A and B are shown apart, each in its own frame.
Chain A
Amino acid sequence: ELKVEQNPLFLSMQEGKNYTIYCNYSTTSDRLYWYRQDPGKSLESLFVLLSNGAVKQEGRLMASLDTKARLSTLHITAAVHDLSATYFCAADGGAQKLVFGQGTRLTINP
Protein backbone atom coordinates (compact mmCIF):
# COMPACT_ATOMS: atom_id res chain seq x y z
CA GLU A 1 0.00 0.00 0.00
CA LEU A 2 1.39 3.35 -1.03
CA LYS A 3 1.97 5.85 1.76
CA VAL A 4 3.07 9.43 1.25
CA GLU A 5 4.72 11.44 4.00
CA GLN A 6 5.63 15.10 4.00
CA ASN A 7 7.92 16.97 6.30
CA PRO A 8 7.82 19.29 7.90
CA LEU A 9 4.08 19.51 8.55
CA PHE A 10 4.37 23.08 9.77
CA LEU A 11 6.90 25.63 8.60
CA SER A 12 7.22 29.22 9.68
CA MET A 13 9.82 31.24 7.91
CA GLN A 14 10.82 34.80 7.19
CA GLU A 15 10.55 36.56 3.91
CA GLY A 16 13.68 36.32 1.83
CA LYS A 17 14.76 32.93 3.19
CA ASN A 18 15.06 29.64 1.34
CA TYR A 19 13.56 26.37 2.44
CA THR A 20 12.63 22.90 1.23
CA ILE A 21 9.60 20.70 1.78
CA TYR A 22 10.20 16.97 1.48
CA CYS A 23 7.84 14.33 0.18
CA ASN A 24 8.68 10.66 0.66
CA TYR A 25 6.61 7.82 -0.70
CA SER A 26 6.75 4.16 0.21
CA THR A 27 6.39 2.21 -3.05
CA THR A 28 7.30 2.71 -6.66
CA SER A 29 5.58 5.62 -8.31
CA ASP A 30 6.67 7.23 -11.56
CA ARG A 31 4.64 10.37 -11.12
CA LEU A 32 4.43 12.98 -8.42
CA TYR A 33 2.14 15.95 -8.10
CA TRP A 34 2.27 19.13 -6.03
CA TYR A 35 -0.76 21.17 -5.06
CA ARG A 36 -1.32 24.40 -3.20
CA GLN A 37 -4.28 25.14 -0.96
CA ASP A 38 -5.13 28.58 0.42
CA PRO A 39 -7.23 28.77 3.60
CA GLY A 40 -10.84 27.87 2.93
CA LYS A 41 -10.11 27.17 -0.71
CA SER A 42 -9.67 24.10 -2.85
CA LEU A 43 -6.47 22.58 -4.19
CA GLU A 44 -4.69 24.15 -7.11
CA SER A 45 -2.25 22.18 -9.24
CA LEU A 46 1.32 23.47 -9.09
CA PHE A 47 3.56 20.86 -10.67
CA VAL A 48 3.31 17.49 -12.35
CA LEU A 49 6.56 15.47 -12.33
CA LEU A 50 6.37 12.59 -14.75
CA SER A 51 9.79 10.96 -14.69
CA ASN A 52 12.91 10.40 -12.67
CA GLY A 53 15.06 13.51 -12.54
CA ALA A 54 12.21 15.80 -13.56
CA VAL A 55 12.61 19.38 -12.41
CA LYS A 56 10.02 22.10 -12.82
CA GLN A 57 10.12 25.72 -11.78
CA GLU A 58 7.50 28.41 -11.48
CA GLY A 59 8.58 31.71 -10.00
CA ARG A 60 10.10 31.11 -6.56
CA LEU A 61 9.04 27.46 -6.43
CA MET A 62 10.99 24.55 -7.83
CA ALA A 63 10.00 20.90 -7.63
CA SER A 64 12.11 17.84 -8.35
CA LEU A 65 11.64 14.09 -8.40
CA ASP A 66 14.02 11.24 -7.58
CA THR A 67 12.12 8.01 -8.17
CA LYS A 68 15.00 5.86 -6.99
CA ALA A 69 15.05 7.55 -3.60
CA ARG A 70 11.24 7.82 -3.67
CA LEU A 71 11.62 11.47 -2.85
CA SER A 72 10.30 14.73 -4.21
CA THR A 73 11.24 18.16 -2.98
CA LEU A 74 9.59 21.54 -3.24
CA HIS A 75 12.14 24.30 -2.86
CA ILE A 76 11.17 27.85 -2.02
CA THR A 77 13.62 30.57 -2.95
CA ALA A 78 13.57 34.02 -1.32
CA ALA A 79 10.13 33.45 0.16
CA VAL A 80 7.45 36.13 -0.04
CA HIS A 81 4.26 36.42 2.00
CA ASP A 82 2.06 35.45 -0.96
CA LEU A 83 3.49 31.93 -0.82
CA SER A 84 1.86 31.30 2.56
CA ALA A 85 -0.44 28.30 2.02
CA THR A 86 -0.67 24.57 2.61
CA TYR A 87 1.25 22.46 0.12
CA PHE A 88 0.37 18.88 -0.68
CA CYS A 89 2.28 16.29 -2.60
CA ALA A 90 0.56 13.27 -4.13
CA ALA A 91 1.94 10.13 -5.70
CA ASP A 92 0.39 7.91 -8.32
CA GLY A 93 -1.24 5.04 -6.44
CA GLY A 94 -2.08 3.10 -9.58
CA ALA A 95 -5.43 2.80 -11.37
CA GLN A 96 -5.34 6.57 -11.78
CA LYS A 97 -5.72 7.21 -8.08
CA LEU A 98 -3.58 9.71 -6.23
CA VAL A 99 -2.42 9.22 -2.66
CA PHE A 100 -1.82 12.47 -0.81
CA GLY A 101 0.58 13.48 1.91
CA GLN A 102 -0.62 15.18 5.09
CA GLY A 103 0.17 18.63 3.78
CA THR A 104 2.73 21.22 4.89
CA ARG A 105 1.35 24.44 6.28
CA LEU A 106 3.74 27.20 5.29
CA THR A 107 3.62 30.60 6.97
CA ILE A 108 5.88 33.35 5.71
CA ASN A 109 6.36 36.28 8.02
CA PRO A 110 7.44 39.77 6.97
Chain B
Amino acid sequence: DVKVTQSSRYLVKRTGEKVFLECVQDMDHENMFWYRQDPGLGLRLIYFSYDVKMKEKGDIPEGYSVSREKKERFSLILESASTNQTSMYLCASSSLGLGYNYGYTFGSGTRLTVV
Protein backbone atom coordinates (compact mmCIF):
# COMPACT_ATOMS: atom_id res chain seq x y z
CA ASP B 1 0.00 0.00 0.00
CA VAL B 2 1.46 3.31 -1.05
CA LYS B 3 2.09 5.80 1.68
CA VAL B 4 2.87 9.33 2.61
CA THR B 5 4.10 9.40 6.18
CA GLN B 6 4.28 12.45 8.38
CA SER B 7 6.52 11.97 11.37
CA SER B 8 4.26 13.46 14.03
CA ARG B 9 0.49 13.49 14.46
CA TYR B 10 0.53 16.10 17.22
CA LEU B 11 3.13 18.68 18.17
CA VAL B 12 3.17 21.41 20.79
CA LYS B 13 5.88 24.03 20.45
CA ARG B 14 6.70 27.32 22.07
CA THR B 15 6.67 30.69 20.35
CA GLY B 16 10.03 31.40 18.76
CA GLU B 17 11.12 27.78 18.46
CA LYS B 18 12.39 26.38 15.18
CA VAL B 19 10.07 23.58 14.12
CA PHE B 20 10.66 20.78 11.63
CA LEU B 21 7.80 18.84 10.07
CA GLU B 22 8.92 15.76 8.16
CA CYS B 23 7.21 13.99 5.29
CA VAL B 24 8.34 10.81 3.55
CA GLN B 25 6.72 9.06 0.59
CA ASP B 26 7.48 5.61 -0.75
CA MET B 27 5.92 5.95 -4.19
CA ASP B 28 8.90 7.45 -6.02
CA HIS B 29 6.78 10.53 -6.72
CA GLU B 30 8.48 13.58 -8.17
CA ASN B 31 6.08 16.16 -6.76
CA MET B 32 5.63 16.95 -3.10
CA PHE B 33 3.50 19.60 -1.43
CA TRP B 34 2.89 21.19 1.94
CA TYR B 35 -0.55 22.59 2.78
CA ARG B 36 -2.01 24.01 5.91
CA GLN B 37 -5.65 23.49 6.76
CA ASP B 38 -7.68 25.93 8.81
CA PRO B 39 -11.44 25.92 9.48
CA GLY B 40 -13.36 27.80 6.83
CA LEU B 41 -10.27 28.36 4.69
CA GLY B 42 -9.82 24.95 3.17
CA LEU B 43 -6.30 23.91 2.23
CA ARG B 44 -3.72 26.54 1.36
CA LEU B 45 -0.48 25.75 -0.40
CA ILE B 46 2.67 26.72 1.46
CA TYR B 47 5.49 25.26 -0.67
CA PHE B 48 5.94 22.59 -3.25
CA SER B 49 8.75 20.78 -4.99
CA TYR B 50 9.02 19.06 -8.35
CA ASP B 51 12.44 17.53 -7.81
CA VAL B 52 15.28 17.09 -5.40
CA LYS B 53 16.78 20.35 -4.19
CA MET B 54 14.14 22.40 -5.92
CA LYS B 55 11.34 24.33 -4.26
CA GLU B 56 8.65 26.77 -5.24
CA LYS B 57 6.61 29.13 -3.11
CA GLY B 58 2.93 28.52 -2.84
CA ASP B 59 0.26 30.97 -1.77
CA ILE B 60 1.32 31.48 1.85
CA PRO B 61 5.10 30.90 2.17
CA GLU B 62 5.81 33.65 4.70
CA GLY B 63 7.32 32.29 7.90
CA TYR B 64 8.12 28.91 6.34
CA SER B 65 10.93 27.29 4.44
CA VAL B 66 11.40 23.80 3.02
CA SER B 67 14.12 21.32 2.28
CA ARG B 68 14.23 18.47 -0.20
CA GLU B 69 17.59 16.74 -0.10
CA LYS B 70 16.24 13.35 -1.15
CA LYS B 71 13.43 12.50 -3.52
CA GLU B 72 11.36 10.75 -0.90
CA ARG B 73 11.61 13.38 1.84
CA PHE B 74 10.18 16.88 2.00
CA SER B 75 10.60 18.89 5.18
CA LEU B 76 8.70 21.99 6.25
CA ILE B 77 10.53 24.36 8.56
CA LEU B 78 9.01 27.04 10.72
CA GLU B 79 11.96 29.33 11.33
CA SER B 80 10.48 31.00 14.42
CA ALA B 81 7.11 29.56 15.35
CA SER B 82 4.28 31.96 16.09
CA THR B 83 0.80 31.37 17.46
CA ASN B 84 -0.78 32.14 14.07
CA GLN B 85 0.98 29.08 12.71
CA THR B 86 -1.14 26.84 14.89
CA SER B 87 -2.83 24.65 12.30
CA MET B 88 -3.15 21.25 10.69
CA TYR B 89 -0.31 20.65 8.23
CA LEU B 90 -0.80 18.22 5.39
CA CYS B 91 1.87 16.78 3.14
CA ALA B 92 0.97 15.35 -0.26
CA SER B 93 2.74 13.82 -3.21
CA SER B 94 1.93 13.10 -6.83
CA SER B 95 3.60 11.61 -9.84
CA LEU B 96 4.71 13.88 -12.64
CA GLY B 97 2.12 13.65 -15.40
CA LEU B 98 0.25 10.83 -13.74
CA GLY B 99 -0.71 13.29 -11.04
CA TYR B 100 -3.36 14.50 -13.44
CA ASN B 101 -4.99 11.11 -13.44
CA TYR B 102 -4.71 10.29 -9.80
CA GLY B 103 -4.43 13.58 -7.97
CA TYR B 104 -2.54 13.71 -4.73
CA THR B 105 -1.84 11.16 -2.04
CA PHE B 106 -1.99 12.80 1.36
CA GLY B 107 -0.24 12.06 4.60
CA SER B 108 -2.16 11.73 7.85
CA GLY B 109 -1.44 15.30 8.88
CA THR B 110 0.38 17.00 11.77
CA ARG B 111 -1.65 19.10 14.14
CA LEU B 112 0.73 21.78 15.41
CA THR B 113 -0.07 23.97 18.38
CA VAL B 114 2.19 26.93 19.13
CA VAL B 115 1.88 28.29 22.66
User: Footprint of B on A, CB under 8 Å?
Assistant: 4, 9, 31, 33, 35, 41-45, 48, 50, 88, 90, 92, 96-103
Contacts and interface: CB of A to CB of B under 8 A. Distances in A.
Interface in B82-115: 90, 92, 94, 96, 99-109
A98 B92 CA distance: 11
Interface string B25-67: 0000001010100001111110010100000001000000000
26 contacts: A4-B42, A9-B40, A31-B100, A33-B103, A35-B106, A41-B109, A42-B90, A42-B106, A42-B109, A43-B104, A44-B106, A45-B104, A48-B101, A48-B103, A50-B101, A92-B100, A96-B94, A96-B99, A97-B33, A97-B45, A97-B58, A99-B45, A100-B42, A102-B41, A102-B42, A103-B42
Contacts of A45: 102-105
Interface of B: 31, 33, 35, 40-45, 48, 50, 58, 90, 92, 94, 96, 99-109
The dominant DSSP class at the A interface is strand
Contact of B96 (A9, A96, A102): A96
B18 to A, nearest CB: 25
A43 B102 CA distance: 13
Interface centre among A45, A88, A97 (most CB of B within 10 A): A97
